[in-house]
Amino acid sequence: MNKAYAEQNAIVRQRLFMLAAKLTDADLSLRMANGWSVTTKLAHLAFWHRYYLGLITEWERTGFSVSPAKVAAINEAVRMLSEAIPGKAVIEIVQAAAEAIDRKLEQLGSGLEAAIEASGRVRILCRAMHRREHLDQIEEALVNTNAPDAVR
């Protein structure tokens, strides 16, 4: 796998782990303006890591193919279902998912990697991009717990 992707994934995975180690129950229940909580953001990351892990595993067996996903609908379903998962459990789930996808990507064959890149789906390979986006949102909400975009 592209060394730059692997390094970014590892750095941002470590950032995720460090943030997760500090989260309290109150932090996990913190709500953001879009209705998502810290818990649901972490569950969202875990879902997409596992989803891409499943796709890559399938592509290794059957060959790469692009299939469109209705991302907004999937995200809403994940958000609703994740409300039922206790915050501390989500931490374990997202950490395990991040490790699993990163290990899989580190072992990815160059042909499949090239096909994913050629399709323009680099976020599958560089999971750090998606993680960073949501970690930034979570950290901002935690800092601004009294701001209008984050209420307990």
Write the pLDDT tens digit of every residue in 96-137.
999 999 999 999 999 999 999 999 999 999 999 999 999 999
Q: Is residue 26 part of a domain?
A: yes
Ramachandran quadrant class, 32 (left: phi over 0; alpha: psi -120 to 50; beta: rest) = beta
27 close to 38: Cβ distance less than 8 angstroms: yes
Q: What is the pTM of this model?
A: 0.91
Q: Is residue 151 part of a domain?
A: no
CATH number for the domain harbouring residue 113: 1.20.120
Residues spanned by the domain of 34: 3-145
Does some domain include residue 150?
no
32 in any annotated domain? yes
Burial grade of 74 (CB within 10 A; 0-12, 13-18, 19 or more): middle
Residue 130, CA atoms < 13 Å, CB-side half-sphere: 21
Q: CA 83: distance to chain centroid?
A: 16
Would residue 139 count as lying in a domain? yes
Q: pLDDT tens digits for 44-95?
A: 999 999 999 999 999 999 999 998 889 999 999 999 999 999 999 999 999 9
Is the residue at 130 inside a domain?
yes
Residue 91 within a domain: yes
* DSSP string for 26-70: HHHH-EETTS-BHHHHHHHHHHHHHHHHHHHHHHHHH--------
Tell me if 152 is assigned to some domain.
no
Q: How many domains does the chain contain in total?
A: 1
